[in-house]
Structure 1
Amino acid sequence: MSLTKLPSGRWRAQVYDPARGRNVSVSRILGGQGTFQTKTEAKRAREWARERLGDLSAEETSLHSFWERWTTDPLFARPKESTNIHNRERTRAFVERYGTRTMDTIDDAVVADWLAGGKRNGTIPALRAMFNDAASAKGGRRVRRNPFARLGVSRGPGRRHEQPPTEEQVWRIIGCAREQANPSFAAWLQVAAFTGLRPGELDALRRVNVDLGRSRIRVTEQFSAATRTFTSPKNGQAREAPLTEPAREAIVSLPIEGEFCFAPIRGTHWTAASRAYHWKAVRAAAGWSGSLYLATRHFAGWYMVNELELPSEDVAIALGHTDGGELVRKLYGHRDRERALDRVTAAYEGTASHTQMRLI
C-alpha cells in the first residue's frame, strides 16, 4: 500500500524507488517528514515524490528494466512456480521487440502492431498481468493505464472444435502402445482415456492413492513439467476421481515396481519428456494425428457425455472441474448431433398418441 493509516491516526506515504528496488518513504525523496495529519496531505506528498522520481533515466524506466524486475522479484511472484515460468516465457518475445521503450510509450499502436495477424493472442493474459503490476503501487505506477486491458480479443477456439478419437481408435492407440512402447505406457494411456486424469496427475500417481475397494483415485499432486517438481493439482485442490473398470484393469495388470503406478524404469515415474519419444511412435503406428490430450482427457469427457450419457455436472466432478459442468458443455462434450436428435424424437414418440387424440 502506498498510503497507510497508522495506529496514531496519521498517514504514511510511500513511493516505489527504482534505484532501491522497493517502496520507500516520501521523506527519502522529498526530505522532511514521512507521515501526515490527513490522507489528502499524504496523497499530495506522494504525487510530489512521484514527479521527482519522474526524472529517472529512460534506461531505468524501460520495459526491459521492469520486466527483469517483474520476473525475478518475489514481490511479483505467483503462488505456483509453473505460472511464473509461463508468464516469463509468454512475455519474453514482446520485451525483446519493444524492450528499449519506456513503459509509458507502450500504447495502443504498439499493442496493435504486436497482435497483427492474430498469432500472438495467447500472450495477452501474461502481458495484461505484467502491465497490471506495472500500474500498481508495488510496481511504482510505471503506467497510468494497462494497454492490454479489455481488448475483447479471443484467444481462439482452442480445442472446442477438435474431435476426439472414437472408442475404437483409442483402443487401437493403447494396443499400439503395448507393441511400440511398453506395458507401463499402455496402462498409462488406458487410465488417462477412461478416467480423464491430467497427464501430470498420472505421472505423479502413487499406488497408495488408488483405492481398489472404493473404486476411487485420490488426486493429491501432479508432476510439473515446467519446474520438474511435484506440486498440488491444477486448481490447488486435492480430489477423488472414479476408478473406472478399464482403469482398474490397466493398473492391476502392472507389476508393483515401486511407489508409483506407472514406472518406465523401476522406482521412477513418467514425465512429459520421457513420454514424448514413446508417444511419437505410438501415434504414428496408430494413425492418430491429434494430440495426447485430445486422445486421453478430452476423449474421456466426450465418452462420458456421449457414450455413457452422463450429466455434465457429473462429468465435471469426475474431471476435477469446479464450474458445475460449464466447461464440459462448452469444450469436452461434443454432443453428437444425430444422437441428440434421436433422443428428442424418441421422447416425442411416447406422447404421439396423446397429441393425436387432442387433435381429433
Structure 2
Amino acid sequence: MAGKPGRRRFGNLRKRDSGRWQARYLGPDGLMHSAPNTFATEREGEQWLTLIESEIIRGHWQAPEAGEVTISSYGERWIAERKLAPRSRQGYEYLFSLHIEPHLGRLTLGAVQPATIRAWRRKLLAGGTPEPQAVKAYALLRAIFSTAVKEDEIIRQNPCRIPGYDRYHTPERPTATVAQVFALADAMPPRFSALIVVAALSGLRWGELAALRRQDVDLAAGLVRVPRKLAVLNGRVEFGPPKSDAGVRVVALPAAAVEALGTHLAAFVDDFPDALIFTGEKGGVLRSSSFGSAVRWRETVARLGLPEFHFHDLRHTGNTLAASSGASTRELMHRMGHSTMRAALIYQHATSERDREIASAMDRRIAKQAGKKVAKGKKAGGRKKKDERPER
C-alpha cells in the first residue's frame, strides 16, 4: 500500500507500492512536475527536491519539457501555427530546413546555449552561407526561442542573445535621379514605360504594381489604391493581401506618374474594372522572373550609367523624393506601406539635399535675428545705469 505524502516546505514525497519514493513539486509555471524517476530512499528524494528548489530560487529552473522537445519538432510547429503570408511562410520554411534543422534539429530546447549558437553561426559562414542568410536564420531561431521562453515557458532564457548577430553590412543601394528614371522608361518597350515611371514616383513594390487593376486607379484624383499584391510561390501565381496591414493604402501620384499611367491605360489595358494594369508581352500576369530578360534589363541600366541597378531600386527614388519634399516620418511610412519607422528614418537621414536647404533657411533666420540684436545693441549705445553691475 502506498505511503502517505511527506510534509515538506517545498514539494512532496510519497512511497509507492513498489517501495520506491516519488517526488513532486509545484513549478514557477503553476504546474505540478514529477521527478523523471523514483528514488530508492526518502532521503534521495529530499535531496532532489532541495536541488530543484535551489534552481528556482537562483532563477536557473526550466521546465522538464526543455529536455524533451527538440528544435526540429518545436520549430516546425512554430512555423505551422503562425499567421503568415504565403511567401513569408515559404521563406521561413526554407530558412529552417536549410540552415537550422540540419545543424540544430536534434538538440532539445534546453540543451542550446549561446556557445551553441556561436558554433552554429561559424559553421554556416565557413560552409559558404552568405552573411545575410545567416542573419535571417538567426532572427528566425531567436523568434522561435522567444516563444519558448515568453509564451510556452519551456526554457528560462533565450540563447539567441548575442550582440551583432542580427545585423550585417548592407552596401548602399543606388538611387536613380528623375532624369535617369525617364531615360530608363524611354528605353523600355512601350508597354513597360509607365511601369518604370509609376514604380519610381509612387514607391510601390513589384508585387503591388503587378496586382494593380483598373478599378484601383483614380486618374482624376491622381490616386492609386493598393489592396493586394501578387506573389509567385513554387511557380504558382497567387494574389493576396499586402505584407502587413500598413501595406493596404491609398497613394497620391505626382502629375508625371498620372500622365504616364493615363497613356498606358488607353493603349494597353482592357476597359473592364478587374483588368490588370501591368501585364507581360502576351497579356499574361507580370512575372519578375521573365521581365528582366524581356526588356534586357542589365544591358539597359548599364548603358544608362546605373550598373547593378535592380527594379526594386526604383522605389528608392520615390521615397527619397518624398522625404526631401518635407514628408514626415508618419507620411513616409504610409507611402511606403511600412508599419515601423526604421525604413522611413533611413530615407529622412539620407536626404542631404533637403538637409542643406534646412541649414540654409536656418542661416537666413540666424542672420536676420542676429542683425536685429546688433541694431538694438547699437541703439542702447554705451549708456549704463548707475546701479548696473557687470555680469559674472
Deviation at 1:183, TM superposition (A): 2.0
Q: Cα–Cα, structure 1 residues 68 and 344, in superposed 2: closer, same or farther, change >3 Å?
A: same
| Segment drifting more, 242-251 vs 213-222 | 242-251
Superposition TM-score, scaled by structure 2 size:
0.66
Superposition TM-score, scaled by structure 1 size:
0.71
Structure 2 residue aligned with 1:222: 229
User: In 2, distance between residues paired with 1:55 and 1:326?
Assistant: 37
SS in 2 for 1:351: helix
CA RMSD of aligned residues (A): 3.6
The question of 1:64 aligning with 2:72 is answered: yes
Deviation at 1:226, TM superposition (A): 4.3
Q: Is the contact between residue 280 and residue 287 of structure 2 (CA under 8 Å) also seen in structure 1?
A: no
User: In 2, distance between residues paired with 1:350 and 1:47?
Assistant: 76
Larger RCO: Structure 1 or Structure 2 (Cα < 8 Å, ≥ 6 residues apart)? 1
Q: Cα–Cα, structure 1 residues 283 and 41, in superposed 2: closer, same or farther, change >3 Å?
A: closer
Q: Cα–Cα, structure 1 residues 50 and 213, in superposed 2: closer, same or farther, change >3 Å?
A: farther
The question of 1:262 aligning with 2:268 is answered: no
User: In 1, distance between residues paired with 2:268 and 2:27?
Assistant: 70
Q: Cα–Cα, structure 1 residues 149 and 42, in superposed 2: closer, same or farther, change >3 Å?
A: closer
Q: State the percentage of identical aligned residues.
A: 21
Q: Is the contact between residue 220 and residue 239 of structure 1 (CA under 8 Å) also seen in structure 2?
A: yes
The question of 1:343 aligning with 2:343 is answered: no
The question of 1:79 aligning with 2:84 is answered: yes
| Segment drifting more, 246-255 vs 267-276 | 267-276
Q: Is the contact between residue 257 and residue 267 of structure 1 (CA under 8 Å) also seen in structure 2?
A: no
User: In 1, distance between residues paired with 2:197 and 2:121?
Assistant: 40
Deviation at 1:205, TM superposition (A): 0.6
Deviation at 1:319, TM superposition (A): 2.6
1:317 pairs with one of 309, 328, 334: 334
Larger radius of gyration, structure 1 or 2?
2
User: In 2, distance between residues paired with 1:169 and 1:189?
Assistant: 11
| Alignment coverage as a number of residue pairs | 308
User: In 1, distance between residues paired with 2:89 and 2:242?
Assistant: 16
Q: Is the contact between residue 301 and residue 333 of structure 1 (CA under 8 Å) also seen in structure 2?
A: no
User: In 2, distance between residues paired with 1:244 and 1:51?
Assistant: 72
User: In 2, distance between residues paired with 1:51 and 1:299?
Assistant: 66
SS in 2 for 1:314: helix
| Segment drifting more, 187-196 vs 129-138 | 129-138
- Residue ranges of structure 1 left out of the alignment (5+ in a row): 1-39
Deviation at 1:359, TM superposition (A): 4.1
Deviation at 1:273, TM superposition (A): 1.7
Q: Cα–Cα, structure 1 residues 154 and 103, in superposed 2: closer, same or farther, change >3 Å?
A: closer
Q: Is the contact between residue 223 and residue 271 of structure 1 (CA under 8 Å) also seen in structure 2?
A: no
Structure 2 residue aligned with 1:5: none
The question of 1:284 aligning with 2:302 is answered: yes
1:121 pairs with one of 135, 152, 162: 135
- Residue ranges of structure 2 left out of the alignment (5+ in a row): 1-25, 39-62, 379-392
User: In 2, distance between residues paired with 1:197 and 1:50?
Assistant: 57
Q: Cα–Cα, structure 1 residues 250 and 333, in superposed 2: closer, same or farther, change >3 Å?
A: farther
Q: Is the contact between residue 216 and residue 225 of structure 2 (CA under 8 Å) also seen in structure 1?
A: yes
Q: Cα–Cα, structure 1 residues 106 and 293, in superposed 2: closer, same or farther, change >3 Å?
A: farther
Structure 1 residue aligned with 2:386: none
